[in-house]
Structure 1
Amino acid sequence: MTPAAGSPLLIYAALAIIALVLLIARYRINPFIVITLVSIGLALAARMPAGDIMAAYEAGVGKTLGHIALVVALGTMLGKMMAESGGAERIARTLIERFGEKNAHWAMVSIAFVCGLPLFFEVGFVLLVPIAFTIARRLGVSILLTGLPMVAGLSVVHGLVPPHPAAMLAVGEYAAQVGKTVFYATLVGIPTAVIAGPLFARLVAPRIRLPAHNAVAAQFTETGTRVADLPGFGVTLGTVLLPVGLMLLGGWADLLSTPGSAANQLLHFVGNSVIALLIATLLSFWTLGLARGFNRNAILRFSTECLAPTAAITLLVGAGGGLNRILIETGVTREIVELSARFDLSPLILGWLVAALMRVATGSATVAMTTAAGIVAPIALASGYPHPELLVLATGAGSLILSHVNDGGFWLIKEYFDMTVVQTLQTWTVLETLISLVAFAFTLGLARML
């Protein structure tokens, strides 16, 4: 749609975000209701035709849930099987033994950085969060001490490192080399994950008081499995990393087989995140279920009862997608493009800035990175900027800044870790902003050295 000429869309968007935070955090109104009402209010203020408002909102919800709902459901079932079989306990014990109890936060950022390479953030999160819960329970520490390093590792590779789709698209837009991009992203990503993960978690975890009982954590940790009955580390790790391997095969399909061939299509199919999780979940019914002595009725009960605590999560994530669509349809992104064009900035700074503005407006790191790359690439190519790989990193760093209530990841973290909106802003939002600023600073440093 085309908003009214001269309408102050950026002001409307800022007021909408402020209203969201106040109504949810200060006045304790149901977040789903608030997001829906604010989305409608923003659309009306921007003079969007009344008949188009709910169609756009529903389209945003549907598009978001079409992927997230499947990922959360399958990932939660796989996590539940890990928990009930004692697999999460086995991985937790092994990591604690290898890293030491005082270094559990380093264990979580390490496994998240490795496992997150081929995974969407949401997929990696639901796969690894049972391990974070289990380690936190065993050590008697806040989930923030293990959970924040985990999400830091996942977020860094999600925003900076190919083969993530947004990073790969940016590589194409900027005509960068994939190998160089991965190398530079690793150089920047590892210290960034360390600073925003274990170091930040150590600082903030003692200052955030969480409820004594977490319903989502309970289903992953309150099991009756004896230590002697725990499954093997190799079997458990192999089961949980199977979707990682399948997605890697999908990403390398065109290198491993002839594009368009039957083998190529098969690799792309099994490499789809939903199919990979489905295969791993079915495998877990055997390796962590039947093979551990559980009957089919028990497996059915596990895979059914674990979905109830995730209902609110998926609903809020969907609502965030609806708000995202309203922000796009009202023309906020176009206003951001026009605003950025008024300033004469270097391509590196422009890539970070445009992605950051898109991220704040739309809530989606993927949308922010792909949109910003499309805007900045012609400018960078015209100016002859010599390091296109660094443009990918700068744009990726900008796309991670300031996650707030219009980002589905915000609600995943809030609900799983049982935090208030204010606590989520103090932890997750600050963590994402740290990643953005630190990664961009390291990228600028690399640019000076090259």
Structure 2
Amino acid sequence: MPALSVLPFETSSDLVKPVAGGAHLVVAALVGIAVIVVLITLVKLHPFLALTLGALTVGILAGQDVNDVLTSFTTGFGTTAAGVGALIVLGAMFAKLLADSGGADQIVDTIVGRASGRMLPWAMAAVGAIIGLPMFFEIGLVLLMPVIYLVSRRAQVSLITVGIPALAGLSAMHGFVPPHPGPVTAIDLLGANLGVTLGLGILVAVPTIVVAGPLFGALAGRWVVVEAPTTWETEERDESTRPSFGVTIATVLLPVVLMLGKAVVDIVIDDEDNMVQRVGDVIGNPFVALLIAVIVAMFTFGIGSKMDKQTISDTISEALPPIAGILVIVAAGGGFKQVLVDTGIGTRLAEWAQDANISVLLLAWVLAVLIRLATGSATIATITASSLMVALVDGLSTGETSLVVLAVGAGSLFFSHVNDAGFWLVKEYFGMTVGQTVKTWSLMETVLSVVGLVVVLILGIFV
């Protein structure tokens, strides 16, 4: 099979040389994480400052020069702000237009009208999975948040009950199904078949979403009761000015289609000099796709709902202040992650796990889990774990190799915590404390990871 065209991803962290011994690095990481937790939960320090101090603690205790630690932190901060930050800004603008136009209400009315109270979490899980199929987790979350808020308010249920299923759908697609960078990279590194992996990935994702989404969400909604915030809440509007359901869905899915189109073109054409692929690479870039979506939404949601130019401008401007805190916290999380990466903690843990005498599928999962816990990045966990598994897939069948890819994907989702930018993104959007985020989001990711592994192991019996 010809080598696949790999989507862009950060590779500077791949197999970084550790700066100290394994035990030394593990202690440094644990102390740094403890500093962050204590500063936020007990001292009540702002997460941005806590993450900054935690990163400095890890780097210094690991034995790095202070200037090197600062360079790592600022590099990770800047990279995250430039990537995820820009997407959050565009997504917030899009979401504000969707809400103020009445488009979000239209979607909510349709979902609530067609789904009973018991079926609502299942409907949200399906929506999350569909939106998450071609989209990065952060983009899907930003686009779905106004819908999650409004569904929670209209159905009068905890934000967790309807939010967790949607997050489960988004996260499962990110870990198991191409064209996300993690799965596509693992497919390329391990020489797996794309079609077989896609098919098996869907088989793994469906039962995993069911368990981690609606079923776990029902429990989590009882443990943590969070009311939907008033963000994106608008005064009652004349329903006659709302964009139609068809127009709303078409606009919401526009960036999805653009990015999915790019993935299809990359796979089908695979020629950098081909004009169609060059155009697809531009309009299918997540930033450009969301930028186009915002511009289109100004017409479909703005002018289409009888907003004038000034109202549209004010709506977009009002979308920015509420996300300022989210931006700096998420970026600081990226800085903390980079310090962990540059100390080589993930690499050291991977070397230890590779020496364990366990099955190939379980080893792939454990490697990804350890690197995920150490770095907070699902993509880094996938890349590094897959690189270490290359020699171990020789002689495996096509289906078995694809299952190794999915085992790595399952491990890369395990227990998101304070070194994961996604952790802070969910915490801030859902208005939860660190403890509540761990009991809901972190545990949901763990359930997703473990159930995914179980399904992979079951499939391994028949493949």
TM-score of the two chains, using structure 2 as the length reference: 0.93
* Distance (whole Å) between structure 2 residues aligned to residue 209 and residue 255 of structure 1: 44
Correspondent of 2:417 among 381, 387, 404: 404
CA distances 1:82-118 after superposition (whole Å, capped 9, x unpaired): 1001001101111122222432111111011011111
What SS class does the counterpart of residue 419 from structure 2 fall into?
coil
Correspondent of 1:209 among 210, 222, 225: 225
What SS class does the counterpart of residue 119 from structure 2 fall into?
helix
Aligned residue type for 1:448: I
Find out whether 1:137 has 2:153 as its counterpart. Answer: yes
Q: Which residue of 1 aligns with 2:236?
A: 224
Of 246-255 and 436-445, the range deviating more from structure 2: 246-255
How well do the aligned residues superpose, as a CA RMSD in angstroms? 1.6
Aligned residue type for 2:251: T
Contact persistence 1:83–1:223 (CA under 8 A): no
Of 329-338 and 248-257, the range deviating more from structure 2: 248-257
Aligned residue type for 1:82: L
Correspondent of 1:170 among 160, 181, 186: 186
Pairwise mapping of residues 310-321 of structure 1 onto structure 2 (< 5 A)? 310-321=323-334
Aligned residue type for 2:255: P
Deviation for aligned residue 1:53: 1.4
Correspondent of 1:434 among 436, 447, 454: 447
Correspondent of 1:254 among 257, 266, 269: 266
Contact persistence 1:145–1:201 (CA under 8 A): yes
Find out whether 1:242 has 2:231 as its counterpart. Answer: no
* Distance (whole Å) between structure 2 residues aligned to residue 63 and residue 115 of structure 1: 25
Q: Which residue of 2 aligns with 1:157?
A: 173
Deviation for aligned residue 1:256: 5.4
* Distance (whole Å) between structure 2 residues aligned to residue 334 and residue 298 of structure 1: 52
Deviation for aligned residue 1:4: 3.9
Q: Which residue of 1 aligns with 2:8?
A: none
Q: Which residue of 2 aligns with 1:45?
A: 61
What SS class does the counterpart of residue 29 from structure 1 fall into?
coil
Deviation for aligned residue 1:17: 1.6
Contact persistence 2:193–2:398 (CA under 8 A): no
Distance change in 2, residues 1:383/1:219 (3 Å)? closer
Contact persistence 1:327–1:362 (CA under 8 A): yes
Correspondent of 1:285 among 283, 294, 298: 298
Find out whether 1:343 has 2:356 as its counterpart. Answer: yes
Aligned residue type for 1:427: T
Aligned residue type for 1:237: I
Find out whether 1:266 has 2:279 as its counterpart. Answer: yes
Moved over 3 A (4+): 4-7, 254-258, 382-386
Q: Which residue of 2 aligns with 1:22?
A: 38
* Distance (whole Å) between structure 2 residues aligned to residue 258 and residue 31 of structure 1: 43
Number of aligned residues:
446
What SS class does the counterpart of residue 394 from structure 2 fall into?
helix
What SS class does the counterpart of residue 102 from structure 1 fall into?
coil
Aligned residue type for 2:278: Q
Deviation for aligned residue 1:19: 2.4
Deviation for aligned residue 1:386: 6.2
Correspondent of 1:12 among 28, 33, 51: 28
Contact persistence 1:174–1:381 (CA under 8 A): no
Find out whether 1:332 has 2:345 as its counterpart. Answer: yes
Aligned residue type for 2:352: L
Find out whether 1:381 has 2:394 as its counterpart. Answer: yes
Contact persistence 2:22–2:348 (CA under 8 A): no
Distance change in 2, residues 1:6/1:378 (3 Å)? closer
Q: Which residue of 1 aligns with 2:6?
A: none
Distance change in 2, residues 1:286/1:332 (3 Å)? same
Find out whether 1:355 has 2:344 as its counterpart. Answer: no
Aligned residue type for 2:382: M
Q: Which residue of 2 aligns with 1:275?
A: 288
Deviation for aligned residue 1:119: 0.4
Correspondent of 2:198 among 173, 182, 185: 182
Contact persistence 1:137–1:221 (CA under 8 A): no
* Distance (whole Å) between structure 2 residues aligned to residue 193 and residue 6 of structure 1: 35
Contact persistence 2:347–2:371 (CA under 8 A): no
Pairwise mapping of residues 106-145 of structure 1 onto structure 2 (< 5 A)? 106-145=122-161
* Distance (whole Å) between structure 2 residues aligned to residue 135 and residue 386 of structure 1: 40
Pairwise mapping of residues 185-196 of structure 1 onto structure 2 (< 5 A)? 185-196=201-212
Contact persistence 1:7–1:46 (CA under 8 A): no
* Distance (whole Å) between structure 1 residues aligned to residue 255 and residue 235 of structure 2: 25
* Distance (whole Å) between structure 2 residues aligned to residue 38 and residue 68 of structure 1: 21
Contact persistence 1:132–1:147 (CA under 8 A): yes
Of 20-29 and 111-120, the range deviating more from structure 2: 20-29
Correspondent of 1:84 among 69, 76, 100: 100
Aligned residue type for 1:32: F
- Identify unmatched segments of 5+ residues in structure 2: 1-16
* Distance (whole Å) between structure 2 residues aligned to residue 228 and residue 295 of structure 1: 16
Deviation for aligned residue 1:403: 0.3
